[in-house]
Amino acid sequence: MIQFPPADPRSVPNHHPALDTLTEYAAGQLRAGFDLVVATHLRGCARCRSEVAALETLGGSLLNTIAPAPLNANALAATLARLDEPAPPPPARNLDQLLAGARRRWIVPGIWVAPIDTPHDPDDRVFLLRVGPGASTAHHRHSGAEMTQVLSGALSDGGIIYQAGDMVELAGDDAHHPKVAGDQPCICLFATQGRLKPTTLAGRIAFALAGV
């Protein structure tokens, strides 16, 4: 089981998901990996939790304004039939449960990756990454968007320092080279749409070893 240092209750995140992202989260429309990253951010961010609560209330109000439409003749029978089906698994929004099954793969001393076993598109990637002080991830591009939640330590990306509790969103065409900031190891939860594309040979070898 991977252990994290206890979160500092006085720390307040400075970097949050975009409003569009929170709206899609509230509507249950995010990709599974992104949904997990946002849910993890919400655990430590009262501001985003209250925004999601407001969006959910707004969504419920909008539903009440939709004019009733006639049901299909077999709608009741179809609904009753579904009651006999096994219940679908709950959304994978609890990182603690997922961590219980996560297995670390050491890439080089100081760096490990732990793929997260949550249902997601086979081309997407959801994983924890631990990088020691002074180290950096390989320079890479993306196939699609990327979301990162800093769980402990601090990350420097594009000249900005992201502390534990902060979330980073990148569009698909961004190339970047995140580095650890400060003298503590940094552990982040990553979700990417599609595979990452390392831009160096060393990066390709490291990503192949990590399975990302």
Residue 180 makes contact with Zn ion by CB under 5 A: no
Collapse the DSSP code of 64 into the 3-class scheme (helix H, G, I; strand E, B; otherwise coil) and give the result.
helix
CB-based contact 115:172 (threshold 8 Å)? no
By the 8 A CB rule, do 98 and 92 touch? yes
Residue number with CB closer to Zn ion (16 or 125): 16
**The 3-state secondary structure of 130-193, one letter per residue:** EECCCCECCCEEECCCEEEEEEECEEEECCEEEECCCEEEECCCCCECCEEECCCCEEEEEEEC
- In angstroms, the CA 130 to CA 99 distance is 13
- Residue 150 interacts with Zn ion (CB under 5 A)? no
- Looking at the Cβ atoms of 95 and 206, the one nearer to Zn ion is 95
Q: Which amino acid type is present at position 20? A: D
Give the residue with the Cβ less far from Zn ion, 37 or 107.
37
CA atoms within 13 A on the CB side of 153: 22
- Site size toward Zn ion (CB under 5 A) is 4
Taking the C-alpha atoms of residue 36 and residue 83, their distance in angstroms, rounded to an integer, is: 28
Q: Is 16 in the site for Zn ion (CB under 5 A)?
A: yes
Contact window for Zn ion (CB under 5 A) among 10-18, 28-36, 125-133, 145-153: 10-18
Q: Which CB sits closer to Zn ion, 13 or 153?
A: 13
> Which residue number, 56 or 177, has a Cβ lying nearer to Zn ion?
56
Q: CA 58, CA 50: separation in Å to the nearest integer?
A: 12
Q: Does 116 bind Zn ion (CB under 5 A)?
A: no
Q: Where does this chain touch Zn ion (CB under 5 A) — which range of 12-20, 122-130, 154-162, 186-194?
A: 12-20
- Selected binder of Zn ion within 26, 30, 45, 154 (CB under 5 A): 45
15 binds Zn ion (CB under 5 A): no
168 binds Zn ion (CB under 5 A): no
Among 1-9, 11-19, 65-73, 132-140, which window interacts with Zn ion (CB under 5 A)? 11-19
Among 48, 114, 138, 196, binds Zn ion (CB under 5 A): 48
Q: Which is nearer to Zn ion, 42 or 111 (CB)?
A: 42
The DSSP bridge pattern shows strands 179-181 and 140-142 to be unpaired
Footprint of Zn ion (CB under 5 A): 13, 16, 45, 48
